[in-house]
Amino acid sequence: MIPGMRPIVIAANWKMHTMPSEAATLAATIAGRTMDSDVVRIICPPFVALGPVHDALAGTGVAVGAQNCHHEVVGAYTGEVSAAMLVGLAEWVIVGHSERRRDACETDALIAAKLQRALEAGLRPILCVGEQFAEREARIHGSIVEGQLRGALAPHVVDGGEGRIFERLVVAYEPVWAIGTGRNASGRDAAEMAGIVRRTLADLGAPAAGEDVPLLYGGSTTAANIAEFLSEPGIDGALVGGASLKPDEMAGIVGRAGIVARARRAAAS
Name every residue whose Cβ is closer than 8 Å to that of residue 115 and which is 6 or more positions away in sequence. 95, 125, 127, 152, 153, 156, 165
Sign of CA pseudo-dihedral 145, 147, 149, 151: negative
Phi, psi at 205, each rounded to 5°: -115, -130
- Active site members: 97, 174
- The helix, strand and coil proportions of the chain, stated in percent and rounded to the nearest 5, come to 50, 15, 35
Per DSSP, the three-state class of 13 is strand
Closest by CA position to 180, among listed 17, 48, 54, 3: 17
**Residue 133: count of CB within 10 angstroms of its CB:** 14
- Backbone φ, ψ for residue 239 (5° rounding): -100, 110
∠ Cα 47 12 128 (to 5°): 85
**How distant is the alpha carbon of residue 10 from its chain centre?**
8
Classified as helix, coil or strand, 192 is helix
Tell me if residue 240 falls in helix, strand or coil.
strand
